[in-house]
Structure 1
Amino acid sequence: MSIDTTKQSRRISRRTVLKAVGAAATTFSIPTVTRADAAGTIRIGFVSPTTGPLGVFGDADAFTLERIRALLGKGLENHGKTYNIEIIARDSQSDPNKASEFAGDLILNKGVHLMVPASTSDVINPVSDQCELNGVPSISSTAPWQSFVFPRGGSSDKPFAWTYHFFWGLEDALGTFVGLWNSFQTNKKVGMLFPSNTDGEAWGNRDYGLPPAVEKAGYTTVVPNKFQPRTNDFSAQIALYKQAGVDIVGGITTPTDLKTFITQCRQQNFTPKVVTVAAALLFPSGIEALGSLGEGMSTEVWWTPAFSFRSSLTGQNSAEIAAEWEAKTGKQWIQPLGYTHALWEVIIDILKRAENPLDRTSIRDAMKATKIQTLVGPVDFSSGPHPNISKTPIFGGQWVKGAKYPFDLKIVDNSLSKLVPTDGKLQPLHW
């Protein structure tokens, strides 16, 4: 879901960053409460996509920030000293260039000690690049680890100095997709749907992406050209799928692009048995936008209220946090809710352990040594597939008609993790 901005972000000059981004910046930060006995103020930069096509990924951020600010109202204890916490939040507006500019402003003008690019590759990668360039520790989540490592020039033997990330990997998502499809009778022909951006390049990669994993599992792939994000015409892709007679469509899109694609599938009489798409099908709003066609759509599942872990900050389990969200917002729970909470569990744990929480190198060293149980599972950077990565669990889910809400997300595949039991089997789509 991102334009490859690695080179672009590296070209952003100090002068550009120091210019008045303030007028364009959307901030939901609040002033720090000054304490007479405070040892200092730890400044945290928080960049998130709360508006624009990726805004659904940032929906839970304001809710969580309000809770975290209340929790830290009396400061943070570290080695017998109390520190004020100032969280300076910026809305990237789903624009990777703005994310990079805001990161530079927070680093060079605000002097943040720690950066948090909250979610999606369009925020995480450009912000992380600025952190690497300027020697600022960064912790992120909510993007496959390959999308974090490889587009930024990383490899298994080439760690980053300042930037760390916890989430599942493409190998896990691909295994989940195959697990879903293996449970259902099809002709094993899969049409691939990928946008022309960083996530599309990662998911469509011939070495580690979806096509080789699916082919290895015994499926035939049909891979059309990547589409431009926000396109209004999927005729070429649909024609190729129809010609090949595919039963399954798999890939990654935004909710807006998937709605356009599904609408045109129906108009052009292409009715696959299964549609399993990452990102776009994560959210109730995306499913509801499809109307009756939303029933039966399938996707990856990162977090649900059924997770058994408890928060290291509040002691609440996932069901309790989801219930609090629904009572506060009047909205159905969303998957990023669990991860944005877990992100702050990790942040606070790092700052409590840092030898000097006002020193960037000290924070980075504490980050590297992280071993904590969070709402989404354990985060441990000593156990990842890459030195800057810790992996978390994933499941396969399907949207069905709901009771309290129009649709409910049910777990129908747990072949990669038995953390949560299944709640049914994959069913065909109703066109």
Structure 2
Amino acid sequence: MTYYNRLVKSGISRRAVLRGMGAGVAASTLALPTYLRAQTAGTIKLGYLTPATGPLGLFGETDGYTVQKIREHLGGQLVSSNGNTYAIEILERDTQSNPNKAAELAGDLILNEEVHLMAPASTTDTILPVMEQSELYEAPCISSGAPWQAVIMPRGGGEFDWTYHFFWGLDEALNTFVGLWNGLETNKKVGMLFPQNIDGETWGNDSYGLPVPTKAAGYDVTIPGYFQPRTNDFSAQIAAFKEAGAEIIGGITYPDDLKTFVTQCNQQGFKPKAVTVAAALLFPGGVEAMGELGNGMSSEVWWTPAFPFPSTLTGQDSRALADQWETDQKRQWTQPLGYSHALMEVAIDILKRSTDPLDREANREAMAATDITTVCGPVKFAGTPHKNICTMPIFGGQWVKGEKWPYDLKIVDNSVNQLFEPEQKIVPLAW
């Protein structure tokens, strides 16, 4: 059961729980002499939280690297639009992929470290509890790396004063899947694969999940029983897809489950023209794990080296960022890299534009007025679809044989966002 479901089940409000979690931190802060609690004159503190370790570590693996690059670029100083030069500290914290730890760390950064801006990076389990603490203790918070509904709706969906977020939404991701399938000649029959967990329940929901835009686009949908994560037998699902004549598979899985499913499809003679799933295909390792069967897999795309926007900090384009990562880390670029950089771009831009970057109120006003084009695209809080949200570009992608690495992710569909043209057209799975 997730952190948030446990709160609901217990009958205790999130605000009450978070206030309790921060009580010890607040008490220790109040016990300090005034001169120790005072803000360090001329030093801006930026709190950066990431799931650097734990089961969500792949989402946070580019954060520490990017933060260090930005530190080096800034040289420990920030020149504000008010004409002053400030020292700047970026305080990194590892949430360990644990929402309770994220809330605890956020409370400490806000109340003890007295940071001037919070920046939680990537995944709902990191961002949502940090947002809750930031709203509760009135600290400006800018975030990215989770579908916006996941960090707005659990808090009631209303407007907020201290927390802003830029990323695409679940609805846009779902429509991206349909856009991918529209690029193929098929019988318009889709089999859907969902795990028996919160992700499966969300993506498979008949009111707002993947079946909704798929049916609206004229596709027939078959949903057999949800599978247990880490199962070693997908025979029932494959049999149902065969009987329905499905030529497309869509849904959400994690890498090990997708590898098992695709391997058994091949063994049992079920060879759809497209396998398009979320989560499992975000990272190169998940595709490589399938060997030759990984060729042609498709998914949503957050960011790739094909994005054409230069960094407002370093001037590098996305290709240069990816190349630098691969040279430095000896590993293939990965989608969160772009958003690690974009989050730092927006955070630094807020502090530069603030009339007083040592004042949280001034930083909140600068955050709400953000209007910047990052390596991931334009960020501006214009009031739609929500006061505190800016939706970002999302595309459809297909993994193809690479030259430098086993597979590379190419943008093949721009039906949801037309900021730039696809790199190539989607092709059916070869099997």
Q: Matched residue of 1:300: which SS?
A: strand
Instruction: State how 1:411-426 maps to structure 2 within 5 Å.
Output: 411-426=411-426
For residues 344-382 of structure 1, what are the alpha-carbon distances to aligned partners after superposition, in whole Å with 9 as ceiling and x for unaligned? 110011111222222222211211111111111110001
**Most deviating of 190-199 and 134-143:** 190-199
Q: Matched residue of 1:131: which SS?
A: helix
Tell me the equivalent position of 1:5: 4
Which amino acid in 2 is paired with 1:5?
Y
Deviation at 1:385, TM superposition (A): 0.8
For residues 166-212 of structure 1, what are the alpha-carbon distances to aligned partners after superposition, in whole Å with 9 as ceiling and x for unaligned? 11222322222111111112232222233455544443343333211
Query: Conserved in 2, the CA contact under 8 Å of 1:53 and 1:256?
Result: no
Query: Conserved in 2, the CA contact under 8 Å of 1:3 and 1:197?
Result: no
Structure 1 residues 95, 180: CA separation in 2 closer, same or farther (over 3 Å shift)?
A: same
Query: Conserved in 2, the CA contact under 8 Å of 1:6 and 1:152?
Result: no
Tell me the equivalent position of 1:219: 219
Distance in 2, matches of 1:82 and 1:233, equals 61
Tell me the equivalent position of 2:317: 317
Query: Conserved in 2, the CA contact under 8 Å of 1:188 and 1:219?
Result: yes
**Most deviating of 173-182 and 87-96:** 87-96
For residues 135-193 of structure 1, what are the alpha-carbon distances to aligned partners after superposition, in whole Å with 9 as ceiling and x for unaligned? 22211112222222223321xxx212211111122232222211111111223222223
Distance in 2, matches of 1:226 and 1:4, equals 23
Tell me the equivalent position of 2:45: 43
Distance in 2, matches of 1:72 and 1:382, equals 29
Q: Matched residue of 1:5: which SS?
A: helix
Query: TM-score, normalised to structure 2's length?
Result: 0.87
Structure 1 residues 383, 11: CA separation in 2 closer, same or farther (over 3 Å shift)?
A: closer
For residues 362-411 of structure 1, what are the alpha-carbon distances to aligned partners after superposition, in whole Å with 9 as ceiling and x for unaligned? 21121111111111111000153111111111111111111111011112
Structure 1 residues 223, 14: CA separation in 2 closer, same or farther (over 3 Å shift)?
A: same
Q: Matched residue of 1:358: which SS?
A: coil
Instruction: State how 1:94-113 maps to structure 2 within 5 Å.
Output: 94-113=97-116
Tell me the equivalent position of 1:165: 165
Unaligned 5+ runs, structure 1:
21-37
Tell me the equivalent position of 2:37: none
Tell me the equivalent position of 1:406: 406
Between the two proteins, the alignment pairs up a number of residues equal to 410
Deviation at 1:241, TM superposition (A): 3.3
Q: Matched residue of 2:272: which SS?
A: coil
Report whether the alignment pairs 1:136 with 2:158. Answer: no
Which amino acid in 1 is paired with 2:172?
D
Tell me the equivalent position of 1:393: 393
Tell me the equivalent position of 2:272: 272
Distance in 2, matches of 1:69 and 1:87, equals 8
Q: Matched residue of 2:428: which SS?
A: coil
Deviation at 1:45, TM superposition (A): 1.8
**Most deviating of 389-398 and 191-200:** 191-200
Instruction: State how 1:244-323 maps to structure 2 within 5 Å.
Output: 244-266=244-266, 270-323=270-323
Q: Matched residue of 1:408: which SS?
A: strand
Tell me the equivalent position of 2:34: none
Tell me the equivalent position of 1:62: 64
**Most deviating of 286-295 and 421-430:** 421-430
Distance in 1, matches of 2:138 and 2:44, equals 16
Query: Conserved in 1, the CA contact under 8 Å of 2:3 and 2:100?
Result: no
Distance in 1, matches of 2:16 and 2:321, equals 41
Which amino acid in 2 is paired with 1:72?
L
Deviation at 1:312, TM superposition (A): 0.7
**Most deviating of 263-272 and 359-368:** 263-272
Report whether the alignment pairs 1:81 with 2:80. Answer: no
**Most deviating of 343-352 and 202-211:** 202-211
Tell me the equivalent position of 1:116: 119
Distance in 2, matches of 1:347 and 1:125, equals 18
Deviation at 1:268, TM superposition (A): 5.3
Unaligned 5+ runs, structure 2:
8-13, 26-39
Q: Matched residue of 2:178: which SS?
A: helix
Structure 1 residues 138, 398: CA separation in 2 closer, same or farther (over 3 Å shift)?
A: same
Structure 1 residues 255, 135: CA separation in 2 closer, same or farther (over 3 Å shift)?
A: farther
Distance in 2, matches of 1:141 and 1:177, equals 21
Which amino acid in 2 is paired with 1:149?
I
Query: TM-score, normalised to structure 1's length?
Result: 0.87
Deviation at 1:265, TM superposition (A): 4.0
**Most deviating of 372-381 and 255-264:** 255-264
Which amino acid in 2 is paired with 1:42?
I
For residues 41-68 of structure 1, what are the alpha-carbon distances to aligned partners after superposition, in whole Å with 9 as ceiling and x for unaligned? 2222222122233211112112101111
Q: Matched residue of 1:349: which SS?
A: helix
Q: Matched residue of 2:207: which SS?
A: coil
Query: Conserved in 1, the CA contact under 8 Å of 2:18 and 2:133?
Result: no
Structure 1 residues 15, 165: CA separation in 2 closer, same or farther (over 3 Å shift)?
A: closer
Structure 1 residues 13, 218: CA separation in 2 closer, same or farther (over 3 Å shift)?
A: closer
Structure 1 residues 165, 13: CA separation in 2 closer, same or farther (over 3 Å shift)?
A: closer
